[in-house]
Amino acid sequence: MKSERTKGEVLLEIRDLKIEGQSDDVWHEIVKGVGLTLRRGEVLGLIGESGAGKSTIGLAAMGFARPGCRITGGSIVFDGMDLRKASEEERRALRGSRIAYVAQSAAASFNPAHRIIDQTVETAVGHDVRPRNEAEADAKDLYTRLKLPNPATIGNRYPHQVSGGQLQRAMTAMAMSCRPDLIIFDEPTTALDVTTQVDVLAAMRDIVEQFNTAAIYITHDLAVVAQMAHRIMVLRHGKLVEEAPTREMLTQPKEAYTKTLWAVRSLAMPERTAKDVVLRIHDVDATYGGVIKVLENVTVQVPRGRTVAVVGESGSGKSTLARVITGLLPPKKGEVYFNGKPLPRALKDRDKETLRRVQMIYQSADTALNPRQRVRDVIGRPLEFYLGLKGQERDRKVVELLEQIELSEDLIDRFPGELSGGQKQRICIARALAADPELIICDEVTSALDQIVQEGILKLLLKLQKETNVSYLFITHDIATVRAIADEIVVMYQGRVVQQGLKTEVLSPPHPAYTELLLSSVPQMDPDWLTHLLEKRAAAKAKVKA
Amino acid sequence: MHPLLRTVLQRLGLGLITLFVVSLIIFSAIEFLPGDFAKAILGQSATPETVEAFQKEIGLDKPAHERYLNWIGGVLQGDFGSSFSSRVGFRRSVMEIIGPRLLNTLFLAGITALVAIPLALGLGLLAALYRNSIFDRAVNAVTLTTISFPEFFVAYILMLFLAVKFPIFHSLSNVSADMPFFEKLQRTALPVLTLTLVIVAHMMRMTRAAIISLLASPYIEMARLKGVSPGQIILRHALPNAWAPIANVIAFNLAYLVVGAVVVEVVFVYPGIGQAMVDAVRSRDIPVVQACALIFAVTYILLNLLADVISIATNPRLLHPR
């Protein structure tokens, strides 16, 4: 069925597209002559690292360039109309009604001030496609098709009142409301948990098929694009690397770059055991505001010089656990022992030496680094604060740390804004390392990074562990990362520990129900993975009912 | 309880506490003023006996805390006490003196608000819509110019052109309570215009900045990609999220209209409360000064409360918790 779609009438033809982006008042070419052809009902996957220009191309397909970008060359012909030559009014008439857009973060892309239904029908009413009452009825129908709970009333809620997965589906409904010919999906599931992602992917794939809508599916996740696209284009640095039908691309990638993308997930460290326990969390309960229980009877151990991965979806209490360990959230019940001694429960009761031993690295290096501090001060500050180093001695140590994290000492006077994402995260690692800690809590440290950059960071963390015998508590939702780095795994769900043990134990069956759900939800490179998974789950459900 | 109602009650409670503290400060500040009120009023030649008698008459012989309690007790019952200009057999209550003045001030402030707020909002929205255009620059430059001149200068310039050279309006705004509404309007036109020129810039620039800071949000890009027109993007998608900062600036400027309009009142001889306070300070009519100060404090507190309520009422996260 999929192959028929690659033969229909041409809907979108982009030729030799050139787009420039502005940085520091200089225009750089970020898309360097890319062409693509899309037929009615076909789903094209655009894949590449960040900076490959895939989102920029996706937006250009709507004749849109973000502020600070400009389309400088080529043609974008949508159903016979060259969007570059069309007036802004003509393009605006097209947007939303014939070409729709589904953004990465639904939570940020919904206007917080309006109810979901009002935003869903806005395009249909605004473009005079149908009157408001019909549009609302249609929106409810779409909510039903997208398997949103309470489709009749969910639209009356405000965006902050529903979950991320539900919002993402509501945004798909919003895109569908005018029955467009083309939808641009821009990393629509990247911000979602794997368990949620499965349902959203299935819902999007179904609805696109039902209405025979063409789509451009932009992602950095190969396994995801394999489920969605009929054809895949690999992009790098604003250029096309290669293009092929999905199955062919997965089985016989031609270019070297594509092969590295495919191979990047192969990092897998054998687990090691250890007796000496650095951190022991014993039977901890934690609440927010004394009412909402977020951790219940949690007991976790971290051996010295080892990595314990804490996995679970958002809301499972992973990050709260980190807050309890660091003292930001004193536990309601239970104790946290460090080197056998109980840690003071609250941050303010801990002395400098205790603080020094536990350090933290955050998900977003952008917000974790002060944009007004140079690298020298970012890394130098903990050296001064914890170890009392000053002047030249401090600078020497900063250079040493830069070497350790495999960055050039030339970067010492840069501001965070002048570094790449991967470099910034390395600076965060160096800042944690500067305190010479015994335990580093890594909270989703690779989630915001490209896969190739992720691999570099993970390798660095492993190397540093070998050199300094530091222990990691590695909080993540990504099973591939766990495979790569963990010795032990703790699976959490709704504030409780579901399963814990050595990596091989946890990853090999039989699993408890939640671990099973979590592991099976991780997308595989097989293009039939989603179909098979859904069939299997439906069958299991039918069995339970019978 | 509804979160909005709870916050309003909370803020009202806080406002009352603030008012109490302010009343203490007002009272003690006046207490610490140098000089003898009785002597100042009766003149240098007064004999010690007359001074004592006068002090007794107006209650100045009692200890400070007793006088404070008397005063605040009266205020709680709506009685701001008697003016020092009262004489035996001829009591002038403070409310009698400032009541009509307060009404005049509220009238002037109200009319100015009706003109200035829509004007500032409209200009701010248009400037945001056509940001960096000639229009935007012109509006910014003009409003910045008017706010940069001292009020009395703007007032005299307007008077010169709109009352003297081209006698369209009255240069004196000596309104009285029995004047017909329309004539009142006409007479207050120049002070309204002056005050408008003074406060529009602040509100307009905040509106523009609040809107523009939101234009980089993902939901604004989403609206563009949905084909929403530029005007609708500003009105429907940006403005509802920008009310909080705008309301705060508007509240601040409205308070200024009540509290800070003294200069304009003096220039146009407008019988407002600001002039009343200045006169009272000059004649050492302490009860009147205290009452004015308290009214100003209430104005600030109420307007800020209103701004808080607007901030909450326009934020669905607070209005409709999960």
Contact A161 B322 (CB under 8 A): yes
Q: Is residue A86 included in any domain, yes or no? A: no
The CATH number covering residue A159 comes to: 3.40.50.300
Rounded CA gap, A461 and A482, in Å? 13
Pair A300, A310: CB distance under 8 Å: yes
Q: What is the pLDDT of residue A307?
A: 93
Contact B227 A112 (CB under 8 A): no
Query: Hey, is the C-beta of A177 within 8 angstroms of any chain B C-beta?
Result: no
Residue of B nearest to A61 (CA): B225
Q: Is residue A9 included in any domain, yes or no? A: no
CA-based nearest residue to B314, from B222, B225, B250, B258? B250
Contact A103 B229 (CB under 8 A): no
Which residues on A lie below 8 Å from B313 (Cβ)?
A: none
Kindly state whether residues A145 and A235 are assigned to the same domain: yes
CA-based nearest residue to B208, from B112, B110, B140? B140
- Tell me the two tokens of residue A71: 């389309």
Sheet holding A239-245, edge to edge: A99-102, A182-186, A214-219, A43-47, A231-236, A239-245
Which residues on B lie below 8 Å from A96 (Cβ)?
A: 225-228
Contact B317 A103 (CB under 8 A): no
Of B225, B227, B320, the CB nearest to A127: B227
Which of A88, A111, A178 to probe by mutation at the B interface, max B CB count within 10 Å? A111
Contact A160 B314 (CB under 8 A): no
Residue of A nearest to B241 (CA): A113
> pLDDT tens digits for B209-251?
999 999 989 999 999 999 999 999 999 999 999 999 999 999 9
Task: For chain A, positions 91-150, list CB contacts with chain B under 8 A.
Answer: 92-97, 100-101, 103, 105, 108-114, 122-123, 126-127
Contact A96 B219 (CB under 8 A): no
Rounded CA gap, B100 and A509, in Å? 86
Indicate the helix (H) or strand (E) that contains A452: helix A451-468
SS3 of A433-450: HHCCCCEEEEECCCCCCC
The amino acid at A202: A
Q: Is residue A7 included in any domain, yes or no? A: no
* A39-53, A202-216, B69-83: least confident range: B69-83
Over residues A24-47, the mean pLDDT reads 90
Residue of A nearest to B221 (CA): A109
Contact A113 B226 (CB under 8 A): no
Query: Hey, is the C-beta of A160 within 8 angstroms of any chain B C-beta?
Result: yes
| A112, pLDDT greater than 70 | yes
- Tell me the two tokens of residue A306: 């080892």
Contact B317 A160 (CB under 8 A): yes
Contact B226 A101 (CB under 8 A): yes
Q: Is residue A10 included in any domain, yes or no? A: no
Of B219, B229, B241, the CB nearest to A92: B229
CA B99 to chain centre: 16
- Cis peptide bond N-terminal to A510, omega within 30: yes
Kindly state whether residues A281 and A250 are assigned to the same domain: no
Contact B227 A94 (CB under 8 A): yes
Identify the sign of the CA torsion B32, B36, B37, B41: negative
Phi first, then psi: give them for residue A306, nearest 5 degrees: -125, 170
User: Mean pLDDT of all residues in chain A?
Assistant: 88
Which residues on B lie below 8 Å from A103 (Cβ)?
A: 218, 221-222, 225
Number of domains in chain A: 2
Quickly state the pLDDT bin for A14 (edges 50, 70, 90): very high
Of B227, B314, B320, the CB nearest to A126: B227
* Chain length of chain B: 322
Q: Is residue A346 included in any domain, yes or no? A: yes
- Looking at the DSSP bridge assignments, the partners of residue A39 are A10
Kindly state whether residues A170 and A253 are assigned to the same domain: yes
Alpha-carbon Rg of chain A, whole angstroms?
A: 25
Rounded CA gap, A100 and A80, in Å? 18
Pair B289, B280: CB distance under 8 Å: yes
Kindly state whether residues A350 and A404 are assigned to the same domain: yes
Kindly state whether residues A205 and A310 are assigned to the same domain: no
| A94, pLDDT greater than 80 | yes
Say how many CB pairs under 8 Å bridge A and B: 77
CA B220 to chain centre: 35
Which residues on B lie below 8 Å from A167 (Cβ)?
A: none
- Tell me the two tokens of residue A437: 């800690």
Pair A127, A97: CB distance under 8 Å: yes
Nearest-neighbour CA in chain A from B317: distance (Å): 7
> pLDDT tens digits for B33-62?
766 667 766 777 777 787 777 777 777 777
- Tell me the two tokens of residue A195: 């368990």
Phi first, then psi: give them for residue A232, nearest 5 degrees: -125, 135
> pLDDT tens digits for B172-200?
888 877 888 888 888 888 999 999 998 99
Kindly state whether residues A173 and A315 are assigned to the same domain: no
Rounded CA gap, A266 and A271, in Å? 15
Rounded CA gap, B139 and B235, in Å? 19
- Tell me the two tokens of residue B276: 């009343």
CA B157 to chain centre: 23
Rounded CA gap, A497 and A489, in Å? 10
Rounded CA gap, A99 and B81, in Å? 72
Contact A126 B219 (CB under 8 A): no
Kindly state whether residues A340 and A459 are assigned to the same domain: yes
> pLDDT tens digits for A160-205?
888 888 888 899 999 999 999 999 999 888 878 888 888 889 888 9
User: What three-state secondary structure class fits B284?
Assistant: coil
Q: Is residue A163 included in any domain, yes or no? A: yes
Nearest-neighbour CA in chain B from A304: distance (Å): 42
Nearest-neighbour CA in chain A from B228: distance (Å): 7
- Domain end, chosen from A263, A298, A323, is at A263
For A232-245, b where at least 16 C-beta lie within 10 A, e where not — what string? bbbbbebebbebbe
Query: Hey, is the C-beta of A68 within 8 angstroms of any chain B C-beta?
Result: no
Over residues B110-139, the mean pLDDT reads 93
Sheet holding A292-303, edge to edge: A292-303, A277-288, A333-338, A341-342
Contact A109 B317 (CB under 8 A): no
Contact A66 B232 (CB under 8 A): no
Pair A428, A379: CB distance under 8 Å: no
Query: For A241, what's the count of Cα atoms within 13 Å in the CB-facing half-sphere?
Result: 23
Which residues on A lie below 8 Å from B244 (Cβ)?
A: none
Which residues on B lie below 8 Å from A62 (Cβ)?
A: 225
Q: What is the pLDDT of residue B269?
A: 87
User: What three-state secondary structure class fits A512?
Assistant: coil
Contact A122 B316 (CB under 8 A): no
User: In terms of pLDDT, which residue wins out, A321 or B49?
Assistant: A321
Kindly state whether residues A53 and A163 are assigned to the same domain: yes
Over residues B134-155, the mean pLDDT reads 91
**Strand pairing class (A307-311; A292-303):** unpaired
Indicate the helix (H) or strand (E) that contains A341: strand A341-342
Which residues on B lie below 8 Å from A64 (Cβ)?
A: 224-225
Nearest-neighbour CA in chain A from B138: distance (Å): 24
Helices (H) and strands (E) in chain A — how many of each? 21, 20
Q: Is residue A333 included in any domain, yes or no? A: yes
Query: For B168, what's the count of Cα atoms within 13 Å in the CB-facing half-sphere?
Result: 9
Phi first, then psi: give them for residue A473, nearest 5 degrees: -105, 110
Over residues A306-333, the mean pLDDT reads 89
Kindly state whether residues A362 and A494 are assigned to the same domain: yes
Domain that holds residue A318: 277-508
Under CATH, domain B99-284 is a member of which superfamily?
A: MetI-like (1.10.3720.10)
Kindly state whether residues A290 and A421 are assigned to the same domain: yes
Of A110, A126, A158, the CB nearest to B320: A158
Q: Could you tell me the CA-to-CA distances from A257 to A234, A237, A253 in Å, in that order? A: 9, 12, 9
Contact A114 B217 (CB under 8 A): no
- Domain end, chosen from A209, A235, A263, is at A263
ipTM above 0.90, yes or no: no
Nearest-neighbour CA in chain B from A500: distance (Å): 33
Residue of B nearest to A68 (CA): B216
Q: What is the pLDDT of residue A24?
A: 75
Residue of A nearest to B226 (CA): A96
Kindly state whether residues A232 and A310 are assigned to the same domain: no
Q: What is the pLDDT of residue A2?
A: 42
Contact B219 A64 (CB under 8 A): no
Pair B240, A114: CB distance under 8 Å: yes
Q: Is residue A328 included in any domain, yes or no? A: yes
User: Mean pLDDT of all residues in chain B?
Assistant: 86
Task: Write down the H helix ranges in A63-193.
Answer: 88-94, 106-109, 116-126, 132-145, 164-176
Residue by residue, DSSP assigns A288-325 as: ETTTEEEEEEEEEEEETT-EEEEE--TTSSHHHHHHHH
CA-based nearest residue to A44, from A260, A312, A228, A179? A228
Q: What is the pLDDT of residue B36?
A: 67
Q: What is the pLDDT of residue A321?
A: 92
Interface of B with A (CB under 8 A): 216-219, 221-229, 232, 236-237, 240-241, 314-317, 320, 322
Q: What is the pLDDT of residue A266?
A: 66
| A6, pLDDT greater than 60 | no
Q: Could you tell me the CA-to-CA distances from A473 to A299, A300, A361, B292 in Å, in that order? A: 14, 10, 10, 63
What percent helix, strand, coil does chain B show, rounded to 5? 75, 0, 25
Which residues on A lie below 8 Å from B218 (Cβ)?
A: 103, 105, 108-109
> pLDDT tens digits for A451-507?
778 888 999 999 999 999 999 999 988 888 888 889 999 999 988 999 999 988 898
Kindly state whether residues A175 and A55 are assigned to the same domain: yes
Nearest-neighbour CA in chain B from A36: distance (Å): 21
Which residues on B lie below 8 Å from A100 (Cβ)?
A: 225-226
Q: What is the pLDDT of residue B27?
A: 86
Enter the pTM of the model. 0.81
| B1, pLDDT greater than 80 | no
